[in-house]
């Protein structure tokens, strides 16, 4: 395929993905907005006012970066996993398989679709948070880089999940049993300084902790970990998951008999 043709194919996939999640916005855009507003009200305002200061910031300001990341992670992941799995399920994936689009364009298109929703949600949640707290940004490039790369990483995760899934149950297992616990334990609501030494150590093997902290560093300037190590780690994960995704596409397991 020629380069301009590949670009057209890429744009086509991305457009289709964006059209999908905006068409079903009550399922895709509304729920995180509602949930996050509830978090802001309950944890930030009601409970937060009693918690007092964390890492030198009032509790509301402390949890906002983590909650934004949480929304970005879940939305990116679930966009790709549901979209690609339903393509598999309805067999409309065959429209792509018969066409000359190279696999890496297919992957890039879906990841961009997941990022569009993830970052869109991130923006919505950020705007909502402004109703509760003032956000000043400590280090803008760090904010942007972290949120983009994290969104890309979880879009890839959603893609692999969709490739492996054989039934609808399979697409909710990872978000429910892995993603949510890791996010809750990933320092969204607390600084790991508060934990006893052993649990601090355990927390350090949770990758989401690094992303949340790097993002919080970008906004507040405080972090439990070195944000540059966190960025490097995300890049390594992205490389690995991309390679795995491309290999799965090439073998065609679950999409080609």
Binding site for other proteins (CB under 8 A): 1-2, 4-6, 8-9, 11-13, 15-16, 19, 23, 86-87, 90-92, 94-102, 252, 256-257
Cβ distance to other proteins smaller for residue 4 or 169: 4
CB of 217 to other proteins, least distance (A): 40
CB of 114 to other proteins, least distance (A): 17
Contact predicate 233/75, CB 8 Å: no
CB of 90 to other proteins, least distance (A): 6
Contact predicate 80/111, CB 8 Å: yes
Could you give the CA distance from residue 150 to residue 156 in angstroms, rounded to a whole number? Answer: 10
Cβ distance to other proteins smaller for residue 56 or 252: 252
Cβ distance to other proteins smaller for residue 70 or 87: 87
CB of 98 to other proteins, least distance (A): 5
Could you give the CA distance from residue 59 to residue 56 in angstroms, rounded to a whole number? Answer: 9
Cβ distance to other proteins smaller for residue 19 or 138: 19
Half-sphere exposure of 1 (CA within 13 A, CB side): 15
Could you give the CA distance from residue 31 to residue 256 in angstroms, rounded to a whole number? Answer: 34
Helices 140-164, 59-90: axis angle to 10 degrees equals: 30
């Amino acid at each position: 395929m020629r380069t301009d043709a590949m670009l057209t194919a890429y744009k086509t996939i991305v457009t289709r993905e964006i059209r999908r999640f905006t068409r079903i916005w009550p399922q895709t855009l509304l729920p995180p907005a509602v949930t996050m507003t509830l978090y802001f009200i309950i944890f930030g305002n009601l409970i937060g006012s009693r918690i007092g200061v964390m890492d030198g910031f009032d509790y509301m300001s402390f949890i906002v970066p983590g909650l934004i990341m949480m929304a970005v992670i879940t939305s990116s992941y679930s966009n790709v996993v549901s979209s690609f799995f339903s393509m598999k399920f309805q067999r409309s994936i065959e429209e792509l398989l018969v066409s000359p689009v190279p696999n890496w364009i297919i992957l890039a298109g879906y990841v961009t679709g997941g990022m569009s929703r993830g970052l869109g949600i991130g923006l919505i949640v950020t705007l909502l948070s402004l109703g509760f707290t003032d956000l000043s940004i400590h280090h803008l490039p760090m904010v942007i880089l972290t949120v983009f790369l994290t969104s890309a990483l979880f879009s890839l995760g959603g893609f692999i999940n969709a490739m492996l899934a054989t039934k609808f149950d399979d697409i909710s297992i990872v978000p429910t049993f892995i993603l949510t616990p890791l996010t809750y334990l990933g320092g969204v609501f607390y600084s790991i300084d508060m934990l006893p030494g052993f649990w601090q150590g355990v927390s350090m093997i949770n990758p989401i902790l690094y992303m949340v902290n790097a993002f919080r560093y970008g906004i507040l300037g405080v972090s439990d970990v070195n944000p540059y190590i966190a960025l490097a780690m995300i890049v390594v994960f992205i490389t690995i998951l991309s390679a795995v995704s491309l290999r799965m596409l090439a073998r065609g397991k679950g999409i080609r008999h």
